[in-house]
Structure 1
């Protein structure tokens, strides 16, 4: 056996005991895998070894191999000699480590494995313990997981069960822990695995509860027998998991419309006597103990009001709980009252057999010394615009070789990164291919895992991610290459940056969104761009926003819609009538019967110096509704807009104005709707544009009874910012309408 000299870790040195290793290269005090993992320690420990007078030994290492070189055995003897020779011999031993490590494999036909260490003291354990582990198999296992095996450190298979394949490349496996065993290995990657030697079935589970969920197959469930029959009809299994108790607040296997679950295991009761159980289930539930129905919960109350009693003796009893959910969250709860208690309490997890924890080790590949592997953590999530973004942390596992490795990442979202630990934000739930490449001493190894970006609902109670502020995610996404970002993310990028207080980044994402020709959801894109417009109107970025709308590609998914939006912004935000007409002309040719385009084009003609042509077009658009109700409805909408103006609610005011003009386009020619529109523009911060609209209409429709009021209002809007223009408008008012009382007043914004 070999025990590492302590001087390799923390001089002063201790003795080095050397003797022949056992077959399969297992070392009782310090096994090959551990020795291999101490490569850096050995290198840095040479100087300490040389100074250590307690180690006057050298080591002779001899590799005794089988015919294929796969069974490496090391014979290490105390030979005496110089200390540096001893140190170099240990370093030389590492050269054989890969071959020696291969000898402990259950069978080299299984290409991949991970070590599993169970957190259970050597003198503890009954042999009934069950452990559930989850790991990434890198897509290298059989699609159904039939090549997955679990073996102890002697290579002996232990009963196991593949609980779930996915999401992504993740695999969940449960296995039994024989008495006295703490180290195990999970294997996969054998194209011809054969039948598994032992499977873990529900009846053998005496530690924890096995939860199996299926899609609901229909039928009535009014008692335990009906539940059993319905279970047989529900064929499709959605997922399996080991759980600690009979409390559930959601479906752990995703958002299913209807599902049917069975919890099965054993229940330990501490004393003889009559036990009372109570249950609640959304929407049906039944508790069965030793084959007898104890509680039936027929509907969904807000408490555990359905109860039943059963006499039990001290010891373990078979328990099954059925749960059917037809809609909503699907919560369920079971409590008990023991013979020596007067109140109900949640059944402790120890009663079902507490499952020990386990540590899953790094990926190993048969015959390979440089293997890329990494850990995944859902580090945080941010909520914005009724949507979640997810922050994931990836940590590369350091190679078991000397040197300074370089870690390169493809984060599956079009972005690259370097470093042992990196973080990335994902703006939509889904499975993403994360690739790690490790470069070391001229060699390279890569591995890709498909990772699900979303909260882990299977372990929601213990793996709730941090609640990040949108600002934190905005900062990360703000550094991304937008051209390489998934196109379906772009609307969410716009909204994230708006909520995160970064309008410049939101505008940059909008530019990419408007110029894309890829596949996006037009409705979500429209909502994001409309919110951007709303937020930037009246700000220093208003002009850049209007220009951004002009970037929309005619052949893109937002082409026509974006051009309409730009025309509206040019009219009512910039009052640039010439550019509005240029934007609308191709739309008129492409969609000559689109009433919205016709209406906007007619208004632009009126304001842009072609009032007769604009009037003809607006008057040709049919009005909606019954003609006899037109005056009443138009008046009601005008009063509503006036109310919103008084409340400074220009957003709802403009929605009502748009509705009014859509119903009665020709009302625009009368002038009062133009006055209300100008007042709404002023309220949202576009006072100069409002003055331009008011003046343009007064000049285009001089006979309108509202023309004098519009000129007077425009003069008032410009009184502080452009006194010369304000004076010019007042002079024009006195010249054209000398008899109007407003001609005798000074400039005011009172309409």
Structure 2
């Protein structure tokens, strides 16, 4: 009995022991499986190499064992990629070719795969490594290289070769699908050389005609023979295929080299052909350039670290202004994996802007070379990933309707005091295009503090524009007048002094509503600068009319506008009535399209040519609509008040036909400004005095009912 009980106890203990051992082995297996994700458990090939990335082969190329990968290095690498090595999953090295590798830039590597082996590793980060001589070279791939173009001519292939020899700086290299390019993706798109080298597949035996089209010189070699030569400075041909030559080719693979250089202006290069039997030229397609297979790259692994990281960067759009400013939009995302804890990110875009988001959209406000860093940390370990990249034209032609507002919303969050002067200038230019006066004023406000403005006229321009916006946007009399006074301190040029004085008087008129003081300054400008700065003397004379208009003195305003009009020396080929009609049509069209700044610029031309239209035409009504669209309600109210006051003057023989509509418009503006009593008074007056204006009468009653 006792023996049987002991046997049962022993069997139970043995069962528990087996179960415990099973659970331990299962746990260890699960840990190993977890650690082996993304190749992390594979033995480190060589301890002298600090970094590696796993590579999974996807689609192999046609009739080739070579595949290509491109990735950001995120850290140091020897400038020529001498420390790069490629191994399979057993640690055996495989043949490879470094297309490009630059410290903190991107790397592009081709390597030869083995049959039925899909996992490989790329190692780098050994400062003592020397370049490994390869026994095999890729049999596929078209590589494009761009480099700096030195000064000199290229009126022949011999001269072009001398340019190549003198060129010291290589901007970058990459695999491309075909010979077709319109800019330099690695650097400035002026004064650069492009070199394509690779393989061309002729689909059949026969006579081919090879064509080049370029701006400027281009030369085509096939199997080492110069086939097409188009030297010298020139633009692209108007007839595609005009520059061509014949060559006999056998079916199969041939080597091809294409050389192109651009000095300045537009850029273009493309390769075309007529295959045997073709009736017209066509761009040599992707399939004619044998390409390597594709593979995906895993996160960056650091030896003896649990933290794995990566960064994705793609430039998604660009925006150019009329005066040459360029802004570039990019999408950025950082990745981190670790068992240690939650991952946090800290970005620095190298332009004064920082962020702690994992992924975000960033606007570079000027082209150039940038170093973008992101610190990835898991609480125990950290890694600072760096990317050095040229940000410039990407020729992205998509123009979504919200593009300008999207850019503005992002830029508005930037610390302007940490941005470069060039970036601030571009923001000011962009803001003008986007009709964002508040954003433009922020840029100008910072620019006028900068000490690195080398052009005096530039400083004066920024002060003038800032003064105007302080007055109209922020309604800041003190800063506006300070900007105009600063102009008078910095220069004695009549053209600038007259602008500053008119700007100061505008502040008195529109902000302080000090009509007499403003009138005095306008008179001084008119008398002092009639010959020295006639344009601003005329503007001062127009403003004298505006003062009289606000005072309700019709005849004096009319006389002031007449004098201003006669100061114009331009001869117009159309009648006043026709010009007035064009102004009304253009400004109304701009307002309907919400282009209120453009409407105001057109209204300035209207004011300049036909100043007396301020008395009895739709001028004030249209200008008020543009100001209302920009949310400049006080300026809109002042414009309408002046029109109403002068039309009610004793010496005004007849009110303008748009007078009732102007009363209604002013009531709308007052209502928007929360001046309900003033709005009601105007509406009641309109209803009582102008029942003949049926449409306006109806709208006035509806608005009055809503206010009550």
Secondary structure of the corresponding residue to residue 195 of structure 1: coil
| Structure 2 equivalent of residue 313 of structure 1 | 250
Give the whole-Å Cα distance in 1 for the aligned partners of 2:511 and 2:168. Answer: 65
C-alpha spacing 1:358/1:467, structure 2 compared with 1 (3 Å): farther
Is 1:332 the counterpart of 2:269? The answer is yes
2:177 touches 2:291 (CA, 8 Å); kept in 1?
yes
| Structure 2 equivalent of residue 350 of structure 1 | 287
Please point out which of 351, 359, 370 is paired with 2:307.
370
| Structure 2 equivalent of residue 173 of structure 1 | 108
Please point out which of 187, 190, 197 is paired with 2:133.
197
Deviations 1:37-96 (A, max 9, x none): xxxxxxxxxxxxxxxxxxxx999xxxxxxxxxxxxxxxxxxx754765455334554897
1:488 touches 1:521 (CA, 8 Å); kept in 2?
no
Give the whole-Å Cα distance in 1 for the aligned partners of 2:197 and 2:333. Answer: 36
How far did residue 155 of structure 1 move?
4.5
Matches within 5 A, 1:352-501: 352-385=289-322, 386-401=324-339, 403-440=341-378, 442-452=379-389, 454=391, 457=394, 469-500=403-434
Give the whole-Å Cα distance in 2 for the aligned partners of 1:430 and 1:373. Answer: 23
Give the whole-Å Cα distance in 1 for the aligned partners of 2:123 and 2:489. Answer: 53
How far did residue 447 of structure 1 move?
1.2
Secondary structure of the corresponding residue to residue 503 of structure 2: helix
C-alpha spacing 1:309/1:126, structure 2 compared with 1 (3 Å): same
Report the aligned-residue RMSD: 5.3
C-alpha spacing 1:470/1:383, structure 2 compared with 1 (3 Å): farther
With normalisation by structure 2, the TM-score equals 0.64
With normalisation by structure 1, the TM-score equals 0.61
1:131 touches 1:356 (CA, 8 Å); kept in 2?
yes
How many residues in Structure 1 have an aligned counterpart in Structure 2? Answer: 567
Give the whole-Å Cα distance in 2 for the aligned partners of 1:465 and 1:451. Answer: 28
Give the whole-Å Cα distance in 2 for the aligned partners of 1:356 and 1:558. Answer: 67
C-alpha spacing 1:344/1:451, structure 2 compared with 1 (3 Å): same
Is 1:291 the counterpart of 2:224? The answer is yes
C-alpha spacing 1:576/1:108, structure 2 compared with 1 (3 Å): same
1:161 touches 1:199 (CA, 8 Å); kept in 2?
no
Deviations 1:587-627 (A, max 9, x none): xxxxxxxxxxxxxxxx9898169x9xx69994999799xxx
Secondary structure of the corresponding residue to residue 398 of structure 1: strand
Deviations 1:238-296 (A, max 9, x none): 43332222223333443354444332222222322222323333333333222333333
2:448 touches 2:463 (CA, 8 Å); kept in 1?
no
Secondary structure of the corresponding residue to residue 55 of structure 2: strand
Give the whole-Å Cα distance in 1 for the aligned partners of 2:435 and 2:623. Answer: 25
Give the whole-Å Cα distance in 2 for the aligned partners of 1:220 and 1:615. Answer: 57
| Structure 2 equivalent of residue 5 of structure 1 | none
Is 1:264 the counterpart of 2:217? The answer is no
Give the whole-Å Cα distance in 1 for the aligned partners of 2:483 and 2:161. Answer: 59
Secondary structure of the corresponding residue to residue 156 of structure 1: coil
Please point out which of 113, 135, 143 is paired with 2:52.
113
How far did residue 514 of structure 1 move?
4.0
Please point out which of 145, 162, 167 is paired with 1:212.
145
Is 1:187 the counterpart of 2:126? The answer is no
Secondary structure of the corresponding residue to residue 543 of structure 1: coil
How far did residue 638 of structure 1 move?
1.0
Give the whole-Å Cα distance in 2 for the aligned partners of 1:95 and 1:398. Answer: 16
| Structure 2 equivalent of residue 704 of structure 1 | none
Give the whole-Å Cα distance in 2 for the aligned partners of 1:524 and 1:623. Answer: 19
Is 1:280 the counterpart of 2:213? The answer is yes
How far did residue 413 of structure 1 move?
4.0
Secondary structure of the corresponding residue to residue 720 of structure 1: helix
| Structure 2 equivalent of residue 733 of structure 1 | none
| Structure 2 equivalent of residue 570 of structure 1 | 504
How far did residue 199 of structure 1 move?
8.6
Please point out which of 465, 480, 484 is paired with 1:549.
480
Secondary structure of the corresponding residue to residue 263 of structure 1: strand
Deviations 1:521-558 (A, max 9, x none): 77667667766777897x6x3623x5443465999x99
Deviations 1:284-325 (A, max 9, x none): 333322233333335642211133322222222222233343
C-alpha spacing 1:281/1:444, structure 2 compared with 1 (3 Å): same
| Structure 2 equivalent of residue 88 of structure 1 | 27
**Structure 1: gaps (5+ residues):** 1-56, 60-78, 581-602, 625-633, 658-674, 689-713, 731-743
Please point out which of 158, 167, 170 is paired with 2:95.
158
C-alpha spacing 1:496/1:134, structure 2 compared with 1 (3 Å): same
After superposing the two structures, state which structure 1 stretch, 468-477 or 292-301, moved more.
292-301
How far did residue 380 of structure 1 move?
3.4
2:78 touches 2:102 (CA, 8 Å); kept in 1?
no
Give the whole-Å Cα distance in 2 for the aligned partners of 1:499 and 1:636. Answer: 30
| Structure 1 equivalent of residue 568 of structure 2 | 639
Matches within 5 A, 1:569-648: 569-575=503-509, 607=520, 618=528, 638-640=567-569, 647=580
Is 1:720 the counterpart of 2:644? The answer is yes
C-alpha spacing 1:436/1:499, structure 2 compared with 1 (3 Å): same
Secondary structure of the corresponding residue to residue 108 of structure 1: coil
1:494 touches 1:528 (CA, 8 Å); kept in 2?
no
Give the whole-Å Cα distance in 2 for the aligned partners of 1:258 and 1:252. Answer: 13
Matches within 5 A, 1:698-713: none
Matches within 5 A, 1:484-523: 484-500=418-434, 502-515=436-449
Give the whole-Å Cα distance in 1 for the aligned partners of 2:446 and 2:270. Answer: 49
How far did residue 721 of structure 1 move?
4.5
Give the whole-Å Cα distance in 2 for the aligned partners of 1:619 and 1:527. Answer: 19
1:383 touches 1:389 (CA, 8 Å); kept in 2?
yes
How far did residue 397 of structure 1 move?
0.9
C-alpha spacing 1:239/1:416, structure 2 compared with 1 (3 Å): closer
Give the whole-Å Cα distance in 1 for the aligned partners of 2:135 and 2:455. Answer: 46
Secondary structure of the corresponding residue to residue 338 of structure 2: coil
How far did residue 230 of structure 1 move?
5.7
Give the whole-Å Cα distance in 2 for the aligned partners of 1:289 and 1:547. Answer: 71
Please point out which of 641, 651, 661 is paired with 2:604.
651
Give the whole-Å Cα distance in 1 for the aligned partners of 2:410 and 2:567. Answer: 46
2:485 touches 2:500 (CA, 8 Å); kept in 1?
no
**Structure 2: gaps (5+ residues):** 1-14, 535-562, 584-601, 625-637, 658-708
Give the whole-Å Cα distance in 2 for the aligned partners of 1:455 and 1:145. Answer: 25
C-alpha spacing 1:684/1:748, structure 2 compared with 1 (3 Å): closer
2:480 touches 2:507 (CA, 8 Å); kept in 1?
no
